[in-house]
Amino acid sequence: ALVDIDEIIGATLTRARPVLEGHKVRVSVLPDLPMLRLDPVLTEQVLFNLLDNAAKYAPHGSEIGLDAWRDGGAVVLQLRDEGPGIPPRDTERIFDMFYRVRKLDHVQAGTGLGLAICRGFTEAMGGTITAANRRDRSGAVFTIRFPVPVAETQKTEEET
């Protein structure tokens, strides 16, 4: 079904509120994004896992950013935090099942499945997800790209 990504973001933020407590959350969703062919439950889980990580690995009181915009034939969702970031050699491996960067870190509990689920769900819906580090300061950046359905692309072209 075609879904409104703005609504999914809103629903996820509501569900994630307890997890995000103690963090500043800055959301910027550009208006008039095209409808996307996504499963709302899977999409919420992807965003939730990323928010959960940002809240878990970045210090209390730090800012978590969530931006959404259109880039040609894709809608881009980007999450950034102010935590330690990802060691450059691990930016692909963190999407493997059970892989955790700090294996002896017993402080931040986890199984290492969250990001594997994010990638599996995102790719199942025709999208991509990648990890990188911020340039402006320490922190991780996760970028999701979902394709805009062809019918939606034509719709916007007819309007303009």
Query: Where along the sequence are the contacts to ligand ATP (CB under 6 A)?
Result: 49, 53-54, 57, 81, 83-84, 86, 94, 99-102, 110-116, 140
For residue 100, the partner it binds in ligand ATP, Mg ion, none, with Cβ less than 5 to 8 A by kind, is ligand ATP
Q: CB under 5 to 8 A by kind: which of Mg ion, ligand ATP, none does 34 bind?
A: none
Please give the Cα distance from 27 to 53 (Å, whole number): 17
What burial class does residue 157 get, using C-beta atoms within 10 Å of its C-beta: 0-12 exposed, 13-18 middle, 19+ buried?
A: exposed
What is residue 89's DSSP assignment?
Answer: G
Copy the structure tokens of residue 22. Answer: 């103690």
Partner that binds at residue 112, options ligand ATP, Mg ion, none, CB closer than 5 to 8 Å by kind:
ligand ATP
For Mg ion, the closer of residues 4 and 99 by Cβ is 99
Expressed in angstroms, the distance from the first to the final Cα of the chain is 25
Q: Any idea what DSSP says for residue 126? A: T
| Shortest distance in whole angstroms from residue 24 CB to ligand ATP | 15
Q: Which two tokens stand for residue 91?
A: 């930016």
Which lies closer to ligand ATP via its Cβ, residue 137 or residue 160?
A: 137
* Contacted by 57, from ligand ATP, Mg ion, none: CB < 5 to 8 Å by type: ligand ATP
Site residues, Mg ion (CB under 5 A): 53, 114
Residue (of 55, 25, 28, 54) closest to 134 by Cα position: 54
